[in-house]
Amino acid sequence: MSAAVDLHRSSWLGLRGSAWSRWSPTLVRARCGRLWVARLIVCLVACLAAMAVAVVGAAPASAHGSPDATAVPSVNYRTELTGPAWPDIHVQMVDNSDRVEIRNDSPLDVIVLGYDGEPYLRIGQQGAFENLQSPATYLNRTVSGNAPIPSGLDPDGPPSWRRLSSAPVARFHDHRTHWMANTLPDDVLADPNSSHVIIEDISIELTWGDRTGTTTGRTIWSPPPSPMPWLALAGAALASGLAVGWWRRRLAGAVVVAATVAAVSATVWQARAAAGSFVADLANIGWLELVMCAAAIGAVTVDRAPAGGVRLAPNHGAATAARVEPTRGWVRPLLVVCGLGAALLGGLAHASVWSRSYPGFAEPWIVGRAAAACALGWGAAAALCLVIAHRPTKTYGGASPGTPTALQQARESGSTPGS
């Protein structure tokens, strides 16, 4: 007769823990089935593919005359630009008024003048170029404008052009288009619940062939919204994740997957708001979220794969067999990391979008804001469930916990089971 075996499992988390017998320290297990190995390989391939997209796709992120692609900022102001009215010359603000975009579809070059009237950028059919002799080339590399300027520059001399891109478009940060002070304007401080024009005289000089023109504009402050509705949604996601983890304990892994999917959704909405290549921006700012999502899905898939094993224990010359499940102790720590990562990178890192008039997301903004709130709540709930997981004892073979098995009874009586 076969003996009942006591196993330690975390089945309510969807995780298969170690299954070692308490009565046979010399027990040997022979695994049967390799379906879980194939699914693990699929998980690893998915992670490597996501990392490859991040490396390859991020290559063109610094093209088009812009700094390296970064997340679109969430702000409370909007800059509007106008002119000059030249054919095939398009000037606009992109990335939530963070950068100026100039596209030149004409056969003549457009020259953007720097802060001292020196040639700064050249945009034409041969591509976009920056002048290494212009101080604006170095000042515009940071938002604060405190980048070091190399000594020995000659902005009044012949330009030294460095090619940025083969496309006739440039995107660049210009300090003339946003508020540079560390404090808000007095009008905003006096009445923060109303809109105010905080910069009225934006002026960027351009030349086009033998013409000279000016791009003018203004910057408008908008009062921020209350973050309370989105904090309430994050709290509801936390409560629902905890309820699912305790009510259906095998679904804690599924909550992790939901959190990582929400984190990826928030990152996708952020990448869609950028003016550059969607794939490049997504790979640059969201590759870690993509890897976590693939890892979570793969871990849950591997953990639920129907794999079994046979372990044998010597029984006075006879063999006693019991069906067991393979040890996958790495699954729970991996899902904890993925859950915390989703809460931090997909939720907490985007917390500013809940209290900004112009969040760094594509429209409709409600989708990105809701995805960030759900990632924060579900990720925290899943990590909490997994960290405090207990390991209840479960008996296979019909015996209840605390009931002596047939082999234990036989050893106590000095006989052999089945004789």
Mean pLDDT computed over every residue of the chain: 75
Q: Which two tokens stand for residue 159?
A: 């330009």
Is it the case that residue 137 has pLDDT exceeding 90?
Answer: yes
CB 234 within 8 A of CB 377: yes
CB 359 within 8 A of CB 227: no
How many C-beta atoms lie closer than 10 Å to residue 182's C-beta? 6
**Closest Cα to residue 72, out of 270, 368, 346?**
270
CB 339 within 8 A of CB 326: no
CB 305 within 8 A of CB 326: no
pLDDT classification of 182: cutoffs 50, 70, 90: confident
DSSP readout, 305-369? S--EEEEEEEETTEEEEEEE----TTHHHHHHHHHHHIIIIIIGGGGGGGG-SB-SSPSSHHHHH
**Closest Cα to residue 382, out of 335, 328, 331?**
335
| Percentage of residues in the chain having pLDDT higher than 90 | 35
How many C-beta atoms lie closer than 10 Å to residue 105's C-beta? 11
Which phi and psi angles does 147 have, rounded to 5°?
Answer: -70, 145
Tell me what the mean pLDDT of segment 318-334 comes to. Answer: 55
CA distances from 411 to 145, 315, 416, 419 (A): 81, 9, 7, 13
pLDDT classification of 278: cutoffs 50, 70, 90: low
The lowest-confidence range among 104-118, 353-367, 381-395 is 381-395
DSSP assignment, residue 13?
G
Query: Does an H or E element contain 393, and which?
Result: strand 393-396
Which phi and psi angles does 291 have, rounded to 5°?
Answer: -65, -40
The lowest-confidence range among 170-179, 201-210, 242-251 is 242-251
In the prediction, which pLDDT does 229 show?
94
The lowest-confidence range among 52-66, 82-96, 139-153, 165-179 is 52-66
CB 12 within 8 A of CB 390: no
Query: Does an H or E element contain 211, and which?
Result: strand 211-221
Query: Does an H or E element contain 205, and which?
Result: strand 196-208
The lowest-confidence range among 8-17, 105-114, 141-150, 294-303 is 8-17
Is it the case that residue 21 has pLDDT exceeding 80?
Answer: no
Q: Does residue 120 sit in helix, strand or coil? A: strand
Q: Which two tokens stand for residue 282?
A: 């997504």
Q: Is the dihedral of CA 293, 295, 297, 300 positive or negative?
A: negative
pLDDT classification of 297: cutoffs 50, 70, 90: confident
CA distances from 408 to 1, 8, 285, 392, 404 (A): 13, 18, 59, 21, 6
- The predicted model scores a pTM of 0.67
Q: Which residues have CB under 8 Å from 248's CB, separation 6+?
A: 12
CB 220 within 8 A of CB 177: no
Tell me what the mean pLDDT of segment 63-71 comes to. Answer: 42
Domain coordinates of the chain in residue numbers?
5-60+227-413, 77-221
Distance separating alpha carbons of residues 159 and 148, to the nearest angstrom? 19
Q: Does residue 402 sit in helix, strand or coil? A: coil
Q: Does residue 142 sit in helix, strand or coil? A: coil
* Helix 365-387 vs helix 331-341: crossing angle, to nearest 10: 150
CB 402 within 8 A of CB 15: no
Which phi and psi angles does 297 have, rounded to 5°?
Answer: -65, -45
In the prediction, which pLDDT does 392 show?
46
Distance separating alpha carbons of residues 367 and 347, to the nearest angstrom? 13
Is it the case that residue 414 has pLDDT exceeding 60?
Answer: no
pLDDT tens digits, one per residue of 193-225 = 899 999 988 999 999 988 999 999 999 999 999
Q: Does residue 133 sit in helix, strand or coil? A: coil
Angle formed at CA 44 by CA 38 and CA 48, multiple of 5 degrees: 145
> Of 316 and 350, which is predicted with more confidence?
350
Lay out the sheet containing 119-124: strands in order across: 77-82, 211-221, 196-208, 110-113, 119-124, 127-131, 161-165
In the prediction, which pLDDT does 276 show?
64
**Closest Cα to residue 2, out of 308, 307, 315?**
315
